[in-house]
Amino acid sequence: DLLLLSSSEPAGMAYIETSNLDGESNLKIRQALPCSASAIKNQNIEDLIASESTVECDPPSGAIYEFKGVINIKKSFTMKTARSDEVISYPLGTSQLLPRGCKLQNTDWVYGVVVYAGNHTKLMLNSMRTIAKRILNFTMKTTIRVLKCEARI
């Protein structure tokens, strides 16, 4: 899962399709925070990396439409005239998250930070529940069949 920082679209917007996640084929709008979108467009991405910005977010969960976090960016990165090491915190929400499995549409490129990877992505956490449910269903069906076979003897 990717935290959207900037995109090719005005105001850091990105259009995604989430049919692999929720079955909906309509486009959803995600938008980078104005401070990161404009700063990255006006500067180099290496400047953001060098700024030692940090992201804090909730532990991984399978809730596709829930995401909360904070990005801490040095004031000197977002404001060219600022020279201090003062850090400004900006709240993050679902509108800044590009989940694994979504398809980028009508957007040439995005910059982002990976917040959840591997088995910790929302897609994988949801698919694990499905697998567990399938195993349970298979076990129940097998048990019922075994009981039916024993009853006939």
Task: Give residue-wise pLDDT tens across range 14-47.
Answer: 999 988 878 888 899 999 998 888 777 777 677 7
Task: Give residue-wise pLDDT tens across range 80-102.
Answer: 665 667 888 999 999 999 898 88
Tell me if 88 sits within 8 A of 72, measured CB to CB: yes
Q: What is the pTM of this model?
A: 0.74
Domains of the chain, by residue range, sit at 2-152
Q: How far is residue 112's CA from residue 89's CA, in Å, rounded to a whole number?
A: 17
The band of 61, judged by pLDDT with boundaries at 50, 70 and 90, is confident
The predicted pLDDT at position 49 comes to 74
